A and B are shown apart, each in its own frame.
Chain A
Amino acid sequence: MAKLLEIKDLNVRYHTDDSIVYAVNNLSLSLEHGEKLGLVGETGAGKTTLALSILQLLPNKVGKIESGSIKYDGEELIGQGEGYMLGLRGRRISMIFQDPMTSLNPTQTVGDQVLEVLRLHFPQLTKEEKDAKVDEILQLVGIPASRKNEYPHQFSGGMKQRVVIAMALIAEPELLLADEPTTALDVTIQAQIMELMRRLKDKFNTAVILITHDLGVVAEFCDKVSVVYAGRVVEHGTVEQIFEAKEKHPYTMGLINCIPDLSKDEERLKPIPGRMVDPRIIPTGCCFADRCPHCMEICKKQPPEIHDLDGHLIMCHLFDAENGGKA
């Protein structure tokens, strides 16, 4: 069976009036059916741009896929017409956006908004069948069917996110892109929503790309992790490889060190110094070089290669053969 999603050497640029923003650079990643991949990185790393590229929803004229390929279930998506994409979006690939407060239409009842997906993608169903499906999915995400005639403002943040999840899953898509689905929510509500996503994922065997900056959420939910920095995947592996293996990309190491550890009593945190590179510049060497504690001469001159340690991919000069192949 073909991979569900295969992205190869993707380059995405934003063209502004006076500069070019290199948002995604030579990025490759793949996803099997039913797999849960975490996409981790700081603000501006290109995580959301990647998701929008898959759905071909980049801002018109400004955002452009420069080169590369995105294959979905064996079919190339780049260059497909709008008609083809419309059949895909919401039906076979769904997206949950970060802010549940703004991704619902305030003038429509939540029941109607969920129903709209069915109207678009399953016109052959009768009205009764559609209504029954809406009731069923609302029940599944924990919203009593009696509330389907209410408007979004009558729901709390967590409940709104449940409505958004219901909309995303009613067509039983093969792939769900979840862009920071719980960032705007409280921890207890976050735990409820993640539990819900875990249950629904098992029920529909949906593959999930979870975009987040919260390593804890990734460790608890995902099978695999891609760490993104400045539009590149700098490290990729299973959750065990990322969180437990000794070999790590210095950036991943930095991210893990930033999190205050509840089980230890530390005096000071170890922040990553400096800030993300300006995305309008292509660095000559490694994109992380000027923040990296292990920076060497070569790091400033030459972009690092990807090293494959049993499927654990690390893009760093520390793992070059002449450096002994390890950190």
Chain B
Amino acid sequence: MDRPLIETKNLCKYFKTHRGMLHAVEDVNMKIFEGKTLGVVGESGCGKSTLGRTVLRLHQATSGEVLFEGENILKYSRQQMNRIHRNMQMIFQDPYSSLDPRMSIRALITEPLTVLSGKEKESSKEMDDRVSRIMEMCGLPRHYSNLYPHELDGGMRQRVGLARAMILDPKFIVCDEPVSALDVSIQAQILNLLMDLQDRHGLSYMFITHDLAVVKHISDEIMVMYMGQVVEYAPSAELFRNHVHPYTRALLNSIPTIDLSRRNRERVTITGEVSSPINPAPGCRFAPRCPFATEECKQKHELKEISPGHFASCTKGVN
């Protein structure tokens, strides 16, 4: 297959604030093929969630294109979007606040169908079958259908969130930090489930997270973002073996590990914090925190292909 399922071209999303324009997503180009996962990593406030939402048109893009199966969906009407949203779903970080506490699990799972079909109520036998099939697929016991969200723990709620997305039989799911709020043992259960569903249904994921260990595990390709800019973009194995951007290196070095031999490694912790993305200066936005920054860095920021499929905006400090 040469045509990606989802593609963005120079996608930008700015927000208007009283202090000026907030550049949340700047000039992002990405491709996700059928059955593949793109991991998007970065620290809080780097624009990764905004990117996910803009791709689904939950935010209106400022400029650029989002192509779904080759068609620019940013030009679609509301009705056309309704149709396309069957194929593009999202699951959210917080399983506690993303489910309506007054709806039963069954009502929650069928809601996306009733919304998109426009029918008030669906109570046919066919629907029952469909719901129980989806619940089983997502590892939810059948008797849960009459329970309410408060009766479930975080892991089970996240499964309900996933069932809500899966009932529409989508091709593409944006997963926005789906396991960040869960315990490690539950986190592993959900990640395995996501991978099983991908194998069985050929789903494509855009997997947004700040946890590099998780992203390595699930992704085919990884995109590292810093303040709205993509700083490095490479196949997963390549990125972990051969990361070149100073920010990626600092990020990977910051992960605590249980390998005691790495305990006394030299830590390249970066100092300082993320500065403001409002009316940012041109050039690399990591420059103020970067130990290798030069005058030139403040001028331009450009992704270069350093090896086939591996893009990075900077290779300073690599020996």
Please give me the 6 A-B residue pairs with the lowest Cβ-Cβ distance, nearest first: A216-B256, A271-B188, A269-B188, A260-B217, A191-B254, A272-B185
A-B contact pairs, 21 of them (CB 8 A): A43-B183, A186-B44, A187-B210, A188-B254, A189-B273, A191-B269, A213-B183, A215-B258, A219-B256, A219-B257, A219-B259, A219-B263, A240-B260, A244-B260, A260-B216, A262-B213, A262-B252, A269-B192, A271-B189, A272-B188, A275-B186
The tally of residues in A whose CB lies under 8 Å from a CB in B reads: 45
Chain B residues lying within 8 Å of A218, measured Cβ to Cβ, are 258
Q: B255 near A: Cβ within 8 Å? A: yes
A residues 224-280 in Cβ contact with B at 8 Å: 239-240, 243-244, 254-263, 265-266, 268-272, 275
Chain A residues lying within 8 Å of B213, measured Cβ to Cβ, are 259-262
Chain A CB within 10 Å, residue with most, of B212, B252, B255: B255
Contact assessment for A42 and B184 in the assembled complex, using a CB-CB cutoff below 8 Å? yes
Which residue of chain A is the closest to B247 with respect to CB atoms?
Answer: A188
Q: B271 near A: Cβ within 8 Å? A: yes
Contact assessment for A187 and B195 in the assembled complex, using a CB-CB cutoff below 8 Å? no
Distance of A265 Cα from B155 Cα, bound (Å): 25
Q: A220 near B: Cβ within 8 Å? A: yes
| B residues adjacent to A (C-beta < 8 A) | 43-44, 153-155, 183-189, 191-192, 195, 210, 212-214, 216-217, 237, 240, 250-260, 263, 267, 269-271, 273-274
Contact assessment for A216 and B258 in the assembled complex, using a CB-CB cutoff below 8 Å? yes
Chain B CB within 10 Å, residue with most, of A186, A213, A239, A263: A186
Separation in Å of the A316 CB from the closest CB of chain B?
Answer: 18
Chain B CB within 10 Å, residue with most, of A192, A217, A260: A260
If A218-B258, A258-B188 are given as contacts, then 20 extra A-B residue pairs at C-beta distance below 8 Å, sorted by A number, are A187-B254, A187-B255, A188-B270, A190-B254, A191-B256, A191-B269, A216-B256, A219-B260, A239-B260, A255-B184, A258-B187, A259-B184, A259-B213, A262-B252, A262-B255, A268-B195, A269-B191, A271-B188, A272-B188, A275-B153
Separation in Å of the B177 CB from the closest CB of chain A?
Answer: 12
A residues 111-132 in Cβ contact with B at 8 Å: none
User: If A188-B43, A191-B267, A275-B153 touch, does A243 touch B186 (CB 8 Å cutoff)?
Assistant: no
Chain A CB within 10 Å, residue with most, of B184, B191, B210, B267: B184
Q: A100 near B: Cβ within 8 Å? A: no
A residues 170-228 in Cβ contact with B at 8 Å: 186-192, 194-195, 213-220
Contact assessment for B217 and A269 in the assembled complex, using a CB-CB cutoff below 8 Å? yes
Chain A CB within 10 Å, residue with most, of B187, B237, B251, B273: B273
Chain A residues lying within 8 Å of B155, measured Cβ to Cβ, are 275
Chain B residues lying within 8 Å of A214, measured Cβ to Cβ, are 256
User: If A262-B240, A271-B186, A271-B188 touch, does A187 touch B43 (CB 8 Å cutoff)?
Assistant: yes
Q: A158 near B: Cβ within 8 Å? A: yes
User: If A158-B273, A191-B267, A268-B192 touch, does A260 touch B214 (CB 8 Å cutoff)?
Assistant: yes
User: If A258-B187, A271-B186 touch, does A243 touch B254 (CB 8 Å cutoff)?
Assistant: no
Chain A residues lying within 8 Å of B217, measured Cβ to Cβ, are 260, 266, 269
- A interface secondary structure, majority: helix
Q: A159 near B: Cβ within 8 Å? A: yes
Contact assessment for A188 and B188 in the assembled complex, using a CB-CB cutoff below 8 Å? no
Distance of A157 Cα from B45 Cα, bound (Å): 12
A residues 142-163 in Cβ contact with B at 8 Å: 156-159
Distance of A266 Cα from B188 Cα, bound (Å): 12
Which residue of chain A is the closest to B189 with respect to CB atoms?
Answer: A271
Chain A residues lying within 8 Å of B274, measured Cβ to Cβ, are 156
Which residue of chain A is the closest to B218 with respect to CB atoms?
Answer: A260
Distance of A158 Cα from B273 Cα, bound (Å): 8
Contact assessment for B255 and A243 in the assembled complex, using a CB-CB cutoff below 8 Å? no
Chain B residues lying within 8 Å of A259, measured Cβ to Cβ, are 184, 213, 258
Contact assessment for B183 and A42 in the assembled complex, using a CB-CB cutoff below 8 Å? yes
Contact assessment for B254 and A258 in the assembled complex, using a CB-CB cutoff below 8 Å? no
User: If A156-B273, A192-B269 touch, does A262 touch B256 (CB 8 Å cutoff)?
Assistant: no
User: If A188-B250, A190-B254 touch, does A243 touch B273 (CB 8 Å cutoff)?
Assistant: no
Distance of A185 Cα from B102 Cα, bound (Å): 32
Which residue of chain B is the closest to A192 with respect to CB atoms?
Answer: B269
Separation in Å of the A171 CB from the closest CB of chain B?
Answer: 27
Contact of A188 (CB < 8 Å), options: B184, B186, B192, B251 = B251
